[in-house]
Amino acid sequence: MKNLKILPVFNPFDRSLIQEIPMQGKEELEKALETAYRLFTDRKSWLPPHARIAVLGKLETLMREKAEELTILASTEGGKPYMDSRVEIHRAINGVRIAAEEIGRLKGTQIPMGLTAASTGRLAFTMREPIGVVAAISAFNHPLNLIVHQVVTAFAAGCPAIVKPAGTTPMTCLRFVELMQDAGVPTGWVQALILDNEDAEILATDKRVSYLSFIGSAKVGWYLKSKLSPGTRCALEHGGAAPVIVDHDVALEKVVPALAKGGFYHAGQVCVSVQRVFVHHGIARKLAMQLSEAAQKLKVGNPLDPTTEVGPLILPKEADRIHNWTQDAIEEGAELLCGGNKLGETCYAPTVLWNPSDKSKVSQEEIFGPVVCVYSYEDLDVAIAAANAIPYHFQAAVFSRNLDTALYCVQNLQASAVMVNDHTAFRVDWMPFGGWDASGEGVGGIGYTMREMTREKLMVMKSEVF
């Protein structure tokens, strides 16, 4: 009898065992790849746009009916507070609707002919076709919405998809794939596999995969890209250490709550979480103290408690890492304004650090935890240079009442998106979303991803009629 590997799934708050899930191995992976590739290469099996739209409409309805179940499931295995998990589920439902709407926007354009004598007598236009099999490797921090962005987009674009969810949050993905099947997704078009890292690499690098969607660490993402088969397109989302510039003229009563939300939402486990806040010296200390006060008022604890605002880190080792980074920063000169301590095995107190060294890890690397660093600046250009000094360039923000100052920061910050008078973690699912440089490659967002998962084909028709 075959010896099955088992993946244990733990509640990140109390570390209780939720479920043990059988894992798939190389044999099941090969079967999944064969199925997906066969579906793609047989055009007769392709689903017409109206059929995909109908399935996604049914899926949206099912998700609305199961919204509470999905909220509790995602919160239980992922640790995101119930109030935020509920928002995520409704975002995911909206994402399904957006994908259905975007199907009708996957279109080509006419290419002008007759511009030279040699091109007369021709009509030319492009059309968009599915790129092929999509392999999606996902992350834990948004266990449903990320799957929508990686898998529903593939289905909507007409691509067979194989998804490998994060090992810490597989249950939400598996339940969602069940709902997709209940909505009418034909067998084989969306397959979920619970794989170890070795087999996940095989999935990502198989020559039958035409598109890799990866959300996770930069180390793993860039490694997988180096191993991709020739012609495989990829989207890599690695995260960053989001900078914020705060001008002297702002209303602190508006800025501080935004920074607290952007920095401590989901315990800072967000790829565009507020991390490095550069504040004009005239108000820097005042802002830092008010942010510290706001952080100390946040309720930390059980994510299933509807009043909890900050839940646990996904694993005990992450709480340990964040604590070590914080203590190192203090030893290197940072002043601890609040927090700086573990609250149990996986919860960490919301932490504010004042003027850490630019050499500290908290200033150089993504914290991915509930720690916000506040720095005082006198010269705006120096602050912008510090914000740009590390290789992670994702979303940034500037708070200012002066339009010229805000626009100057927008122009000069190295970031794929700059929020004006809002925190760095703002996102809606129809906007472009993706990091520059070490923060990743490719552009996310429902419609943008769907276009990335298709490719253009040109038809040139020669006729005496033209």
Catalytic machinery residues: 237, 271
Q: Which two three-digit tokens encode residue 326? A: 């914080």
Judge whether 380 and 245 are in contact, CB under 8 Å. Answer: yes
d(C-alpha 163, C-alpha 138), whole Å: 7
> Coil, strand or helix: which one is 338?
strand
- List alpha helices for 126-271, DSSP H: 145-147, 153-157, 170-182, 197-205, 218-227, 252-264
Q: Which of 344, 367, 323, 425 is nearest to 11 (CA)?
A: 344
Helical packing angle, 49-65 and 82-103, nearest 10°: 160
Judge whether 276 and 241 are in contact, CB under 8 Å. Answer: yes
Q: Which two three-digit tokens encode residue 279? A: 């504040």
Q: Which two three-digit tokens encode residue 438? A: 């070490």
77-109 as b/e, with b when 16 or more CB fall inside 10 Å? bbbbbbebbbebbbbbbbbbbbbbebbeebebe
> Coil, strand or helix: which one is 405?
helix
Look up residue 302 and give its DSSP letter: -
Residue corresponding to tokens 């028709």: 461
Amino acid making up residue 352:
V
d(C-alpha 94, C-alpha 64), whole Å: 10
Judge whether 57 and 100 are in contact, CB under 8 Å. Answer: yes
